[in-house]
Structure 1
Amino acid sequence: MEKLFKQVAIVVDQDDALVKNLENLVSLTREWQSSFHLIYVVERPAFSFKNIWKGYANGRTQPFDTAEHRLKEYQEKLKKLLPEGTRIHCYCKEGKPLWLIRNYIHENQIDLLLLLQSGSRFKRQPIRFSQLVGKINCPMIMVPLHKKDYDFKNIVLPISHELPLKKIMIASFLAGKKNDARIHLLALQEQDAKRQRTENPYLFKTYQLIRDNTTLTVECHPVDGDNLAAPTLEYARKVNADLILVKPGSETSPPGIFHRLLSKFNFSSSGIPVMTI
């Protein structure tokens, strides 16, 4: 299969845990033969003495020259981990993280963005997973810092109201030719005119498409409920999934403001890599 992720970007910051886990990140992408882009955004605080003191005292911002030095450290670390000749691009900029990251991804035709979970739940990051979901034009993976095995042999793929061709293609690519790889398809049961539960028609179509075009093992799981986000996360934890592959919207956010905020927190802190398409 042709390389799907030719240009891979990684958002980095001053978190010491990131340096220790770069090797784990590389294990995720070693077989892809990708070029890498390290993105380091120094967030500029609002101009006030209080914000300047608070930001620098808590390590939330860094002087630009220090950030560039840190970025070079990451680049040298990556060079030692990657095959000789792998291209590593560095981008360091001061400004609004969301705007800068979105522009860089668009201008450099990035195929995949890797966003590392913070080493501490309460530590502020330059950009959060929930801020980028649905706002960039490439797939994104939230990578737990302390996960070491990225075989992607156990993939959970929720199905909504369309044939998820792109998700099928990516799941097949990630699973590769592993004999023990397994795709778990989840879809809400629907109601017919007599309010009887019926299976989502796209569940079987997706199952048939994967079976006809790959050698992967596929399971179908109709689930009850009105929203797919909570059952997806619950099932992924149950089967110890290696990856949850979702489309932003109902697959990631239950209805209601409180539940949407909670679901984003759960997905990004579940300890399971989450890829949004």
Structure 2
Amino acid sequence: MSNHIQPTTTLHNGVKMPWLGLGVFKVEDGEEVVQSIKTALEVGYRSIDTAAIYGNEEGVGKAIAEANVPREELFITTKVWNANHGYEATLTAFDESMEKLGLDYLDLYLIHWPLPSKGKFAETWKALEKLYKDGRVRAIGVSNFKVTHLEEIIEDCEVVPMVNQVEYHPRFNQRELHDFCKKHGIQLEAWSPLMQGELLNEPALMEIAKEYSKSTAQIIIRWDIQTGVVTIPKSVKPHRIAENADVFDFEISQENMDKINALNKDQRMFADPDEFDRV
């Protein structure tokens, strides 16, 4: 087993979170998600990121139950979906997710989207605070929250979010948001770090990859980590899962980091959180 993907960041409440995890968005429930997670755990991953809306929490739970890895070594994340915003609805949704996952406690629970049109994310956050205080979750956070949404939470909360998981890649490096999160001790986490594969043929990244004898994906993942951003690339292919993890044996020079930073175009691939209101 690799020991190269164990490095962790420490959240503001002292909980250690792996810098690298496996995302399972659009991974089919059942055999596909079970095998993907088992492969990842064998390679050395310890962080798995799912969500209620992904429809694969049961498969994630099955993989965890069948894996020969102590529960305390794992870092499992799931998220409350938009239809369940609100205090009581969130508590109920959490119980449903935990039943599917088959877990006694969760490592990280996130509000999946702020859904400002419904105006309930602050109330939803109160439910996460209760789950945290009751010891059912080791850390709580948000996903897809912009600075304005975070400001509203922080102004009214007892517990500042530990994590904000957002779209983040070289063409959308969210500098202002990242600076805000650093200021408030919120760990930024990247979903879709490879821009769903769109960046793999980016000439500047390919050139840097060649210099380090690494893949373009490995360069992007390493850039995330060196920028202080947790990352959860998704793959169902065993060789890709292993390759994505092999990023802790080199360091990108500042010159090359600057070249990657220069690729930013403030280009979202997915919805603006202010406008996304699917339930």
- Same fold per superposition (TM over 0.5): no
* TM superposition score normalised by structure 1: 0.33
Q: Which structure is larger by alpha-carbon Rg, 1 or 2?
A: 1
Task: Please identify which structure carries the higher strand content.
Answer: 1
Task: Please identify which structure carries the higher helix content.
Answer: 2
* TM superposition score normalised by structure 2: 0.33
